[in-house]
Structure 1
Amino acid sequence: MEKLNRTSVTEFILTGLTELPWLQKVLFVVIFVFYVVNIVSNLGIVTLVSRNTALQSPMYFFLANLSFIDIFYSTVSIPKMLAGFFMENIISFKGCITQLYFFHFLGCIEGILLAVMGYDRYVAICNPLQYQIVMDKFTCILLVFSSWIVGVFYSLTHSLMASQLPFCKVKKIKHFMCDVKPVLRLACADTFLNEITVMLVTGFIGMVTFFITVVSYVYIFMNLMKIHSVSGRSKAFSTCSSHITIVIFFFGTAMCTYLGPTSEGSIEKDKVAALLFTVVTPTLNPLIYTIRNQEVHRCLRKLFRKEKVWK
């Protein structure tokens, strides 16, 4: 019977964000604009960092990697969500598990990269003389590579455990994508082990990365208090303020989603939180990191001047 249930469910229906036609049209336009801005701005960051020698430093190396991840992080769910505004959003069982895998794979990498960027700022501000030695090219590549390895095992844990569950005849996932918690709600078996695993694994990785970031900034702020020059303190803080904003936004929504209990009311809140860190955060990342960055502004002006010369 369990085998019959599992094999009989070959597809799911994603209910999306809302069933109100007028709101669907509004959301389609808003999310589509965010997605286009996300692709253009993040691709711009990757191109700018790779083409400009003035930006060949660990901070911009990590920022380019974060932008690269953000492009695919949104692409995992947004195109499918946009299509669902105009038609019944059907996704195959294999497609659902694949989406779940890549969503958590890319999300895990993003969380680790944010922690790495916090550590990078700590070394740059608190140990500037050792910065080039500590954050050499090999270390930077190793840190990024490690984030990908952790992401693989983290996402495999969730996707493999979800794929082994028997599912009932109810095929509607109350979400705009295949996330682990709404998928578990459709299982015909006890999902206690799955839910505990989600909380423990996500909680462990989330708390470790968040702890590293918090400790890094505690030392940074202690160091900034020793700087007597107001302009020097302001310049050092400006390089960190954008990162702090993204960290609070990303980790806050992620922890609210995966560390809380599952209930009918929490599913609706989870959809809003998921919308924030799949649509809003990846779009705001390049804007927040570059809006006050004078070095990026200079490189952009130089790039535009080159383009005009070629024309």
Structure 2
Amino acid sequence: MTKINESSEKHFILIGFSEYPRAEFILSLFASGFYTMTLTGNAAIILVSILDSRLHTPMYFFLRNLSFLDIFFTTSIVPQMLVNMWGNNKISYLCCMVQLIVALALGSTECVLLAVMSIDRYVAVCWPLRYTTIMHPRICRILAAISWIWGFGNSLFQSSLAIVLPRCGHRRVDHFFCEVLIIIKLSCVDTRPTEAKMFAPRLLILIVPVSIILTSYACIARAVIRMKSAEGRRKAFGTCASHLMVVFVFYGTVMFMYLQPKNNYSQNQGKALALIYMIVAPSTNPLIYTLRNKDVKRAIRKILWKDSTED
């Protein structure tokens, strides 16, 4: 028991990409660049969707939630990652556990929120005349709250199981952040019972939202095919394409990482996948939604034009 308490008071050593010292500097520039894009792009979406009254719709309410989520998701990872790459590869036990809980909570919340956004798109395309009634602001707030509560609940359950495992002095974390699968690997006892308990909620937080997304878009595809107007089909496809691209990038990497058999798991592969869904994906979301969205581009031009005329 003494050894466990002593290890809890010490720092963890984040190995990160230290085995590739020449590439580490390039990776730090890569992470800094994408982190800056994440902050500016998502902050711009939040600001524009608040300032332009035409964007006060359920779609942009959920998009603001996603942008807010992505900002804090990457912030929970990237600053500490850069500190480690620039020389200090230690992180305190408390900071490591906070990072584990927060990153897992925000990642889980995004899984559910993307499913909620697919429901919004389903109602918009398949029930256009009843859209404002069904997607009432109160319903939107409830759905967003469910996403956050479900995400943080999943994190607290899985994190609590990982944190109580004895580590017997093991402090080398073979990753660039404190990730739940890696923390479990530090344990000096049989972790199979713990991993079995984690598998059900992990499956729930991934499979249920994916099932909702697939069902929603199957119904959307059927509705679009039945449309007689080519303009209507083009508009319906345009409103859904951006969301589908975000879903593909995020879920593709997360499911490949967390649901593959343990004996097929490669740590370097896990680091590369984590870079994609934690750093690259949040920075590309604003580009995907703005470049393919006429409403957002029009709102940005309106704000910039108004500011320039005032000057």
Alignment correspondent of 2:119:
119
Deviation at 1:198, TM superposition (A): 2.8
Q: Aligned equivalents of 2:260 and 2:181: distance in 1?
A: 10
**Structure 2: 5+ residue stretches without partners:** none
**Aligned runs of 1:92-241 on 2, under 5 Å?**
92-241=92-241
**Aligned runs of 1:1-311 on 2, under 5 Å?**
3-9=1-7, 10-263=10-263, 265-311=265-311
Q: Aligned equivalents of 1:127 and 1:176: distance in 2?
A: 45
Q: Aligned equivalents of 2:193 and 2:154: distance in 1?
A: 16
> When the two structures are superposed, what TM-score results if normalisation uses the length of structure 2?
0.96
Q: Note if contact 1:70-1:282 (Cα within 8 Å) is conserved in structure 2.
A: yes
Q: Aligned equivalents of 1:193 and 1:291: distance in 2?
A: 47
Q: Helix, strand or coil for the counterpart of 2:292?
A: coil
Amino acid of the residue matched to residue 151 of structure 1?
G
Q: Helix, strand or coil for the counterpart of 1:168?
A: coil
**Structure 1: 5+ residue stretches without partners:** none
Q: Aligned equivalents of 1:268 and 1:194: distance in 2?
A: 24
Compare 135-144 and 92-101 and name the one that shifted more. Answer: 92-101
Q: Note if contact 2:41-2:286 (Cα within 8 Å) is conserved in structure 1.
A: yes
Deviation at 1:45, TM superposition (A): 0.5
Q: Aligned equivalents of 2:259 and 2:265: distance in 1?
A: 15
Deviation at 1:265, TM superposition (A): 4.8
Runs of 4+ aligned residues of structure 1 deviating over 4 Å after TM superposition are none
Q: Helix, strand or coil for the counterpart of 1:283?
A: helix
Amino acid of the residue matched to residue 134 of structure 2?
V
Compare 111-120 and 232-241 and name the one that shifted more. Answer: 232-241
Q: Aligned equivalents of 1:241 and 1:264: distance in 2?
A: 32
Deviation at 1:50, TM superposition (A): 1.1
Deviation at 1:264, TM superposition (A): 8.4
> When the two structures are superposed, what TM-score results if normalisation uses the length of structure 1?
0.96
Q: Note if contact 1:13-1:88 (Cα within 8 Å) is conserved in structure 2.
A: no
Q: Aligned equivalents of 1:91 and 1:194: distance in 2?
A: 25
Identity %, equivalent residues: 38
- Aligned residues between the structures: 309
